[in-house]
Structures are given as C-alpha cells and as structure tokens.
C-alpha cells in the first residue's frame, strides 16, 4: 500500500515539474529561437555600421534587429524598444570585458564578449517591460549593470 502512495506522490511531482517547465517556456512572452556568433574588432566598434550607433532597426514586416553594446556597467541602447508580436534578432558585443545579456525571466540569454558578436533571435508577444541583466561577473558595478527591454 505504501508503495502505491509513493508512486502516486512521485507522479504528481513529475507532473508539477513538467507543468512548471512548460510554463517557463511559454509564459514570459519572450522566447529565444536561435543563436550564433561571429568575430569583430573590439577596438573598432566606432567604425562598425552596427555598433557605432547601438539601436533598433526594422528589417522586415514584423522583424527587427537590435544592435547592442555591453559595457562597464550598462547596455546601449536602453531601453531597447520593439513592437509586440515581432521577431527580434539581437546582435550583441562588448566594448570592454566579458558580460552577460539575459532578458530577465526568459530563456533569452547569451554572453557579450569583446571581439565577438553574439546573435540571438527571440519572439516577443504581448506588451511588457523586461529587465536585461548581466550574468557574468564584470567588475565593481556588475550587480548594478542593468538594461531594459520594452515590448510595446
Ligand atoms: Cu557586466 Cu556583470
């Protein structure tokens, strides 16, 4: 009899876990769908079309590119503003040390490495404001390094 109770308990736990995983994947309104990386000269960002002026650009009907530079201790641009129900490709680099780039509470997450361009594509649904956090220790201001993503 005890075995059956424990079995039922285990099944309930598994179902709860599956439920929370599913919620985590579809709940937040920002979902990462692709990622990759390329090289760049970290000392020549000012001469790069994308990063000389960090910004958001519309590249298709519901498609946007966000060129983001991480630095000690923040992100440019901030806020990053994109419309709801769009696909956003973030191209992210760093002008100094290694940083993280994570849209808080979602699976959109990558590293910002000097000399590299990380690319992640996310789908954003409903209007909402998100924090962008650095999840790599990058110096004295690491804990306060924060950006904003506004889905409008
Ligand atoms: Cu930037 Cu931690």
The CATH number for 145's domain is 2.60.40.420
Q: Whose CA is nearest to atom 1 of ligand 1?
A: 99
The answer to whether residue 15 is domain-embedded is: no
Residue with tokens 């946007």: 64
pLDDT number for residue 3: 79
3-state secondary structure of 65: strand
Residues whose CB falls within 8 Å of the CB of residue 125, separated by 6 or more in sequence, listed in order:
29, 30, 84, 85, 151
3-state secondary structure of 22: helix
142 within ligand 1 shell (Cβ under 6 A)? yes
CA 137 to ligand 1: nearest atom:
2
Expressed in angstroms and rounded, the spacing between residue 12 Cα and the centre of ligand 1 is 39
The answer to whether residue 19 is domain-embedded is: no
The answer to whether residue 73 is domain-embedded is: yes
Q: Which residues constitute the domain of residue 101?
A: 29-151
The answer to whether residue 17 is domain-embedded is: no
The answer to whether residue 97 is domain-embedded is: yes
The answer to whether residue 5 is domain-embedded is: no
The answer to whether residue 104 is domain-embedded is: yes
Q: Is the dihedral of CA 52, 55, 61, 62 positive or negative?
A: positive
CA 139 to ligand 1: nearest atom:
2
Number of domains in the chain: 1
Rounded-to-integer distance, Cα 63 and Cα 121, Å: 10
CA 135 to ligand 1: nearest atom:
2
The answer to whether residue 137 is domain-embedded is: yes
Main-chain phi, psi angles of 9, to 5 degrees: -60, -45
Would you give per-residue pLDDT tens digits along the chain (152 residues)? 777 877 777 777 777 776 655 554 455 789 988 888 899 999 999 999 999 999 999 999 999 999 999 999 999 999 999 999 999 999 999 999 999 999 999 999 999 999 999 999 999 999 999 999 999 999 999 999 999 999 99
């Amino acid at each position: 009899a005890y075995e059956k109770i424990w079995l039922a308990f285990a099944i309930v736990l598994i179902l709860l876990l599956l439920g929370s995983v599913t919620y985590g994947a579809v709940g937040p309104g920002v979902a990462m769908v692709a990622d990759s990386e390329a090289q760049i000269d970290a000392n020549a960002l000012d001469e790069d079309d994308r990063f000389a002026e960090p910004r958001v650009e519309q590249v298709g009907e519901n498609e946007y590119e966000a060129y983001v530079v991480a630095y000690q201790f923040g992100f440019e641009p901030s806020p990053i503003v994109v419309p709801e129900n769009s696909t956003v490709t973030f191209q992210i680099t760093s002008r100094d040390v290694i940083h993280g780039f994570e849209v808080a509470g979602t699976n959109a997450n990558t590293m910002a490495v000097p000399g590299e361009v990380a690319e992640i594509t996310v789908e954003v649904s409903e209007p909402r404001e998100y924090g962008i956090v650095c999840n790599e220790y990058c110096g004295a201001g690491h804990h306060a390094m924060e950006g904003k993503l506004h889905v409008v």
